[in-house]
């Protein structure tokens, strides 16, 4: 399965994914996919550089599935991170994840 690189942005902690052109995006759908172990390591190196550059913290790679062009983060934890959800709203009865 492909991997994407995720992290939290340093200045506000928001969940981000490494995208094309070295950009960090909040949308998992725009994350760069690493199809091989080698690709994943290359992305991790790029991310490590951005840790040093104080763009992001808490970097790690994670497996995803791609179905019909949609990126699925697989675990409940990563689906929640990708959704950037908030819980104040009344009747926020949960949608199944």
Partner 1 sequence: MYRYDEFDHAFVRERVAEFKGQVERRLSGQLTEDEFKPLRLRNGLYLQLHAYMLRIAIPYGVLSPKQLRQLAMIGRRWDRGYGHFTTRQNLQFNWVKLVDIPDVLAALAEVEMHCIQTSGNCVRNVTADPFAGAANDELEDPRPWCEILRQWSTLHPEFSWLPRKFKIAISGAAEDRAAIAFHDIGLKIVRGPDGENGFRVLVGGGMGRIPYVGQEIRAFLPKQHLLSYIESILRVYNLYGRRDNIHKARIKILVNKLGIDAFREAVEADWEATHKDAIDLPEDERKRIMSYFAPPDLAPRPIGDEALDQRRAADPIFANWLKHNVRPHRVPGYSTVVVSLKEPGRTPGDASSEAMELVADLAERFSRGEARVNYTQNLMLPHVATSDVVAIYDILVENGLATGNHDLLGDMICCPGLDYCNLANARSIPIAKEIAKRFEDPKRQEMIGPLRLNMSGCINACGHHHSGNIGILGVDKKGTELYQISLGGNPKDDAAIGTIIGPGFRAEAVPQAIDTIIETYLAERTGDETFLDTWRRVGAQPFKEALYAAR
Judged by CB under 8 A, the residue of 30, 55, 58, 73 near partner 1 is 58
41 makes contact with partner 1 (CB under 8 A): no
Per-residue DSSP letter, 29: G
| Residue (14 or 33) nearer to partner 1, CB | 14
Number of residues this chain uses to bind partner 1 (CB under 8 A):
28
Q: Are 47 and 55 in contact (CB under 8 A)?
A: no
84 phi-psi bin (left φ>0, alpha ψ -120 to 50, beta other): left
Structure tokens at 63: 């497996």
60 makes contact with partner 1 (CB under 8 A): no
- What is the CB neighbour count within 10 angstroms for residue 61? 17
49 makes contact with partner 1 (CB under 8 A): no
Residues lying near partner 1 in the complex (CB under 8 A): 8, 10-15, 51, 54, 57-58, 74-77, 80-81, 84-88, 90-94, 96
């Amino acid at each position: 399965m492909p991997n994407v690189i995720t992290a939290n942005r340093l200045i506000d902690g928001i969940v981000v994914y490494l995208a094309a052109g070295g950009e960090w995006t909040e949308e998992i759908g725009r994350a760069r996919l690493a199809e091989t172990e080698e690709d994943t390591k290359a992305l991790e190196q790029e991310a490590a550089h951005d840790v040093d550059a104080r763009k992001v913290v808490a970097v790690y790679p994670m497996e995803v599935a791609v179905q019909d062009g949609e990126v699925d983060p697989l675990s409940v934890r990563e689906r929640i991170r990708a959704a950037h959800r908030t819980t104040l709203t009344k009747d926020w009865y949960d949608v199944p994840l």
